[in-house]
Structure formats: structure tokens, C-alpha cells
């Protein structure tokens, strides 16, 4: 186990927003951790299509994330196959299963997200919502 957390897309989205959760998200990211290329892609998509950010802002944020965090984990066939198994066996939505599978591949002890059940353990991964008070 590497000891570093894995971050779901919503952590990056909040860090790049005026949302009240931005300070918590920013603090987590500055402490270091891991994301996958999928998370970076989802961040770019949400930032462009939902948040209506300019591409120059999105690229700058992506560069900052790559500076703060470990090199992003690529999406591989192994992660894809593990995600299918997690979706089938643990009832996860497929794209959530891809995030969990990537966190497992990176041997992260915790996955920070608000999109999955807080406190749930999937394999060696603890799902944690850092925005709960």
C-alpha cells in the first residue's frame, strides 16, 4: 500500500470553484495523492460543459493538479476488467467502479469522494466523504 489517497473528480471540481467545499478540497490536493486519467478527463468535461469555464482556465487547473499530485494513472485493460468485476459483484455504477479499480491499482488506502457510500470498504479501499461535518 502506498499510503496516498486517491481523489475522485468531485474533489478536483470543488478545488477549482467558489463552492464552500473548495477549501477542504484544496487542502486535500495540496497534501498530495493520486488521480487517474479518467478523473482528469471528467474534470475537463464538467469544467467545460457544466461550469462553462474557458479552456485556458481548464488547462491551467490541469497543470496545477499534475504539479500537486503523483503522475496520473492511465486507464488500462486491467483496470477496465477489474471495474467490470466490481460493478457486477459490488453493485457499483460502472464509472464509479473504474475509479475504485484505479485506486486499487494504485494501492491507495482511501478514496476521497462524495459520490459513493461514506465508510464503505471495497477490498482494501476505504470510501471517505471529506465534506461530511
Residue 33 lies in a domain: yes
C-alpha to C-alpha distance for 42 and 82, rounded to whole angstroms: 20
- The grid cell for 62 is 490541469
Residue 133 lies in a domain: no
Q: According to the model, what pLDDT value does residue 57 have?
A: 96
Q: How many domains does the chain have?
A: 1
Residue 1 lies in a domain: no
Are 122 and 18 in contact, with CB atoms under 8 Å apart?
no
Q: What is the CATH number of the domain that holds 79?
A: 3.40.50.1010
Q: According to the model, what pLDDT value does residue 46 have?
A: 96
Q: According to the model, what pLDDT value does residue 1 have?
A: 63
pLDDT digits (tens, 9 = 90+) for 26-77: 999 999 999 999 999 999 999 999 999 999 999 999 999 999 999 999 999 9
Q: What domain range includes position 83?
A: 6-128
Residue 46 lies in a domain: yes
Residue 54 lies in a domain: yes
Alpha-carbon distances of 60 from 11, 64, 94, rounded to whole Å: 16, 6, 29
Residue 76 lies in a domain: yes
C-alpha to C-alpha distance for 117 and 125, rounded to whole angstroms: 12
Amino acid at each position: 500500500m502506498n499510503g496516498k489517497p486517491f481523489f475522485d473528480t468531485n474533489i478536483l471540481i470543488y478545488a477549482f470553484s467558489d463552492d464552500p467545499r473548495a477549501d477542504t478540497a484544496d487542502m486535500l490536493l495540496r497534501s498530495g495523492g493520486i488521480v487517474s486519467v479518467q478523473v482528469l478527463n471528467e474534470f475537463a468535461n464538467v469544467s467545460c460543459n457544466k461550469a462553462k469555464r474557458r479552456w485556458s482556465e481548464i488547462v491551467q487547473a490541469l497543470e496545477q493538479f499534475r504539479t500537486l499530485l503523483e503522475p496520473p494513472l492511465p486507464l488500462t485493460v486491467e483496470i477496465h476488467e477489474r471495474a467490470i468485476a466490481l460493478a457486477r459483484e459490488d453493485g457499483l455504477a460502472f464509472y464509479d467502479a473504474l475509479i475504485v479499480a484505479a485506486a486499487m491499482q494504485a494501492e491507495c488506502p482511501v478514496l476521497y469522494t462524495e459520490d459513493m457510500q461514506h465508510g464503505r470498504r471495497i477490498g482494501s479501499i476505504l470510501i471517505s466523504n471529506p465534506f461530511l461535518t
